[in-house]
């Protein structure tokens, strides 16, 4: 596979990688207020880069939260318009002591680039920019199609500001399809398009007992314990087999089609290999009667992420804390809605209130589940482009994660999204030692170049 | 009530209080390694003070942990010997933001002195020293009885070093009785001797699932969740009514005598007043069929103190943590033993192991439950001395907390302990805004002076 733009990209591998490293050095952790300036610095870095490569109307758009970055190039009359989306914020790096090299000092090791955000999503987002740069360079300062770029800085904390922008300024994002690279390949060397995502609700349950922290010697046996209360509630949310016990929770589920389920069975997937290499636990868990792919792509799930409160230091402090919190999220599948799921969950949790405990059940953020139709020219072109670059048939999969913006594009802009991602299953997203396979960064850039050239020449 | 020593103490109120403040300013938090120097500084401060007032053979004894402080004065031939015990280490002050004034800047407010350690145990420990100083001053540099002082710096983390010292160097602590002031009065103005304490085991359950932290979108539905596992285990440790479900856990319990139970019924105690003023929860909890005093003094209980692991920051991080920990302690009553209780607990917890989870059940520290006989001359003298100073009959109570050293004194030194404490029920031990009622500091000093003078003149 070759074209002048692909040749340009290949000739610039080293520089493209160094530019990604520069972006990864900015600790743009959107959930931590002390990193607000870093998030802004990442936005400014990207705006400067978009301007440098030839994009127009570049703007860092201030919001009530972290800024958006917008740019466009709209001079390909009669050609389709792509809306390129990415996010430049990252998850917190904790637990820090489990990183082999510092999370914000990108380090090459065994063909991979290790850093927080390497694949989620700075590396994948920058593939778009580098593809555009290569196309500008190879097409005499022009692009083969129209492009708008919109980047956000709070995907990891719910993406509230971009959702608002999409709702209120749809005219500024007018396009024929969106391109999102925030997903992964099903297996190394296997070109993959993601055509479905789970939605989510992320919640907190706060349990309050005594008015102040109490000594467990003096008050143990009389004062309610918020951790015990939360444990009782969590245990009633999901049975030991993994089935969620919230009344009505499964009612709205639309199962995958027979064809889709059949296609999943042909994917190169071995549960035992997945267990040992990716999860590493003694057994896998989850609802009985469903395969791992069904459980992680097409079934709702419930997880607890942390339980702040009380004493968490080394050693012993014999406190009955006045309050404790459980961070609980649920993944949703079509046609469940976050609104309905949260209503069912909240009312069920409140019905479980243990003796002497007051509860506060809060929704922190949410996103819709989505399924993209595969019968449109953009998905077709993407499929063909990936096949050209990777030399193998492209497979369609779903993702277990949530990219709420894809639902917003569908709902408010009425456009389909091409989810063309180049992460690998062992990339450690949201975990210590996150990485991006460097060869995938390069071939991702090529895939996008070819995809855009196909759409521009049709 | 008056004597030259009491008069001296009264004339020195202001200085005695300022000296306590100086000691409280040292953040001697034994559980936090970064405060190791502060713990040592508190030991040195006390050694200097003991030397200054006239004690002999003053020594800061290095140990594998925090130091012990020893001193004696043994020239009252034919008189009994008191072993005065106290601890100069304190609990961590967190949650810091709930303190009205800084925990290590002692502040007077409404007749109380607010600071971490004010009552537990620096204030009560210093009462001994100030009583001894007053006696030396009023008795021409002599004491009316023999005194050994032993102070430790790791009571809040299990007291391992002093336990070892008592086991191995019992000859250096030879005495007729021990005096411990680390308990509270049953009610304001009600002189109280504590004649029973609960024991305890403090444990950690570590639950491990996946080999690394995983993204709950990608792995939710397949990877085991350590927090959900811990919730399931905790829920099976204690039923919703508060009854502990560990097999055999209640078997060794020796109930209080009919007389003791009757005496408790005459104590000024109102459950509803206790609920609203001390606990502040909407309801009290605990085993059905037992009064609050029975539940907190004479029944074993189980509490969860914290659940470190995962994401505990603000906002949302969608992690399935590789591991999580529950800090769980149990209070024990006569004749349960820590060894037996931990064995029963560990084996039961391990039997509850959820699918895909590995468990590690650790004992962090433990202490025996004890009951002191009330028919000895030391308890008699203490009872009379308190009646003299407070003008009311002294009551006998038990405590729900644990002072493991009292069991060690009984077992290895074969001596009874007089637990004469002057804390109040609302002193916020181990919690934000710990305080000591200043009048009780002064009257505690007087009570000890009179107690020692009674024993010396008998």
pLDDT tens for B16-39 read 999 999 999 999 999 999 999 999
Percent of chain B with pLDDT over 70: 100
Q: Which of residues 290-349 of B touch A (CB under 8 A)?
A: 292, 295-296, 299, 301-321, 324, 326-327, 329, 331
CB A435 within 8 A of CB A442: no
Asked whether the beta carbons of A403 and A200 are under 8 A apart, the reply is no
Alpha-helix runs per DSSP H in B117-257: 123-138, 160-168, 216-219, 226-237
> Residue B298 above 70 pLDDT?
yes
Query: How big, in percent rounded to 5, are the helix, strand and coil portions of chain B?
Result: 40, 25, 40
The least confident of A390-394, B325-329, B424-428 is B424-428
Nearest alpha carbon to residue B35 among A318, A96, A313: A313
Instruction: Give the pair of three-digit tokens for residue B255.
Output: 């109930």
- Report all structural domains of chain A as residue ranges with CATH numbers, in order of start: 4-197+369-457 (3.40.630.10), 199-256+295-367 (3.30.70.360)
Section A20-37 average pLDDT: 97
Please tell me which residue, B2 or B172, carries the higher pLDDT value: B172
**What is the rounded distance in angstroms from the CA atom of residue B225 to the CA atom of residue B355?**
10
Q: How confident is the model at residue B207 (pLDDT cuts 50, 70, 90)?
A: very high
Most B-contacting residue of A245, A304, A332, A425 (CB-CB within 10 A), to test interface: A304
Interface pTM (ipTM) of the complex? 0.82
pLDDT at B109: 97
Average pLDDT for chain A: 96
Q: What value, to the nearest 5°, has the Cα angle with vertex B400 and ends B395 and B403?
A: 95
A430 → closest Cβ in B33, B215, B309: B215
Q: How many CB atoms lie within 10 A of CB A360?
A: 12
Q: Counting Cβ atoms within 10 Å, is residue A372 exposed (0-12), middle (13-18) or buried (19+)? A: buried
Report the C-alpha gap between B107 and B30 in whole angstroms: 22
Residue B377 scores a pLDDT above 80: yes
- Are the beta carbons of B448 and B421 closer than 8 angstroms? no
Q: B213 vs A357: CB contact, 8 Å cut-off?
A: no
Q: Torsion over CA of A32, A438, A296 and A294, rounded to 10 degrees?
A: 160
Q: What is the pLDDT of residue B404?
A: 80
The Cα B361–Cα B352 span in angstroms is 12
Q: Which residues of B touch A222 (CB under 8 A)?
A: 274, 279, 284-286, 292, 295-296
Residues of chain B in contact with residue A364, where contact means CB-CB under 8 angstroms, are 315-316
Query: Average pLDDT of B91-115?
Result: 96
pLDDT, mean of residues B127-135: 98
Please, which pLDDT band fits residue A1 given cuts at 50, 70 and 90? low
A14 touches B at CB < 8 Å: no
Q: What is the pLDDT of residues A366-420, one digit of tens each?
A: 988 998 888 889 999 999 999 999 999 999 999 998 888 998 999 899 999 999 9
Question: What pLDDT digit, counting tens, does each position of A257-312 carry?
Answer: 998 999 899 999 999 999 999 899 999 999 999 999 999 999 999 999 999 999 99
The overall average pLDDT reported for chain B is 95
Q: Which residues of B touch A299 (CB under 8 A)?
A: 221
Rounded to an integer, the average pLDDT of A98-106 is 97
- B320 vs A contacts (CB less than 8 Å): 303, 305
Is the predicted pLDDT of residue A441 greater than 70, yes or no? yes
């Amino acid at each position: 596979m070759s074209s002048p733009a692909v040749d340009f990209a290949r000739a610039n591998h080293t520089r493209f990688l160094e530019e990604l490293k520069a972006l990864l050095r900015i600790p743009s952790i959107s959930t931590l207020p002390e990193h607000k300036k870093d998030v802004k610095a990442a936005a400014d870095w990207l705006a400067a880069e978009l301007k440098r490569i030839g994009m127009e109307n570049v703007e860092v758009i201030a919001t009530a939260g972290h800024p958006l970055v917008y740019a466009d190039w709209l001079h390909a009359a009669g050609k389709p318009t792509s809306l390129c989306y990415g996010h430049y914020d990252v998850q917190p790096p904790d637990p820090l002591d489990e990183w082999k090299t510092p999370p914000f000092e990108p380090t090459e090791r065994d063909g991979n680039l290790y850093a927080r955000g390497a694949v989620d999503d700075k590396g994948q987002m920058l593939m778009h920019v580098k593809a555009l740069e290569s196309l500008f360079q190879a097409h005499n300062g022009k692009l083969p199609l129209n492009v708008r770029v919109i980047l956000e800085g709070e995907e990891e904390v719910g993406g509230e500001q971009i959702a608002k922008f999409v709702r209120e300024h749809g005219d500024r994002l007018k396009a024929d399809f969106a391109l999102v690279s925030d997903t992964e390949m099903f297996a190394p060397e296997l070109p993959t398009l993601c055509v479905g995502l789970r939605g989510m609700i992320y919640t907190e349950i706060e349990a309050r007992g005594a008015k102040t922290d109490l000594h467990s010697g003096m008050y143990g046996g009389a004062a309610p314990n918020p951790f015990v209360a939360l444990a009782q509630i969590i245990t009633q949310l999901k049975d030991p087999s993994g089935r969620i016990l919230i009344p009505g929770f499964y009612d709205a589920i639309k199962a995958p089609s027979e064809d889709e389920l059949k296609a999943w069975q042909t994917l190169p997937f071995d549960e035992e290999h997945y267990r040992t290499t990716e999860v590493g636990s003694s057994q896998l868990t989850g609802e009985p009667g469903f395969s791992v792919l069904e459980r992680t792509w097409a079934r709702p799930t419930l997880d607890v992420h942390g339980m702040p409160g009380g004493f968490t230091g080394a050693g012993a402090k014999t406190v009955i804390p006045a309050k404790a919190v459980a961070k609980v999220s649920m993944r949703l599948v079509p046609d469940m809605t976050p609104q309905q799921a949260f209503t069912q969950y909240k009312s069920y949790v409140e019905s479980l209130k243990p003796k002497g405990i007051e509860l506060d059940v809060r929704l922190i953020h949410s996103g819709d589940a989505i399924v993209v139709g595969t019968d449109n020219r953009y998905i077709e072109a993407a499929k063909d482009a990936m096949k050209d670059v990777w030399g193998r048939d492209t497979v369609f999969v779903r993702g277990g994660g949530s990219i709420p913006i894809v639902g917003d594009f569908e709902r408010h802009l009425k456009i389909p999204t091409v989810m063309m991602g180049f992460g690998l299953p062992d990339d450690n997203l949201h975990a210590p030692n996150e990485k991006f396979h460097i060869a995938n960064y390069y071939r991702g850039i090529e895939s996008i170049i070819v995809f855009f050239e196909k759409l521009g020449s049709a």
